[in-house]
Amino acid sequence: MLAKTIAGKIFVPSIVIGELYYGAENSARLDENRARVDQYAASVVIVNCDAVTGKHYGRVKAQLRAKGKMIPDNDIWIAAVAIQFDLTVVTRDGHFQHVDGLRVEVW
């Protein structure tokens, strides 16, 4: 999840929404969890990827490879969105700490 409080809004990359729907699709309570994701997605600002995001993705992935600290591709996309839009990543995943210039808040 990403967060930057601008008028109390939470910004979430479309990649995260996809991961949430994937989790719902693989759950025992499919309809209930789809509805929960629908409700959550409607309550946040969804940030999409574009060519600028792709440039950040390429730079971040190259830096991680050079350090020998690769992380999952979806997390690199999330980091790229955060860097592009000057957002803070709110997560428990410690591997985001390996991304240069990324603000991370552990929840």
Is 75 within 8 Å of 95 (Cβ atoms)? yes
Answering whether pTM is above 0.85, one says yes
Residue 17 has pLDDT above 80, yes or no: yes
**Residue spans per domain, the chain:** 2-106
Q: Flag whether pLDDT at 98 surpasses 80.
A: yes
Residue 100 · residue 83 · CB < 8 Å: no
Superfamily of chain region 2-106: 5'-nuclease (3.40.50.1010)
H helices within the chain, ranges in order? 14-25, 30-43, 51-67, 73-84
Q: What was the pLDDT predicted at 3?
A: 54
Task: Name which residue leads in pLDDT, 77 or 1.
Answer: 77
What are the pLDDT digits (tens) for 35-57?
A: 999 999 999 999 999 999 999 99
% of residues, the chain, pLDDT over 70: 93
In angstroms, the CA 44 to CA 52 distance is 22
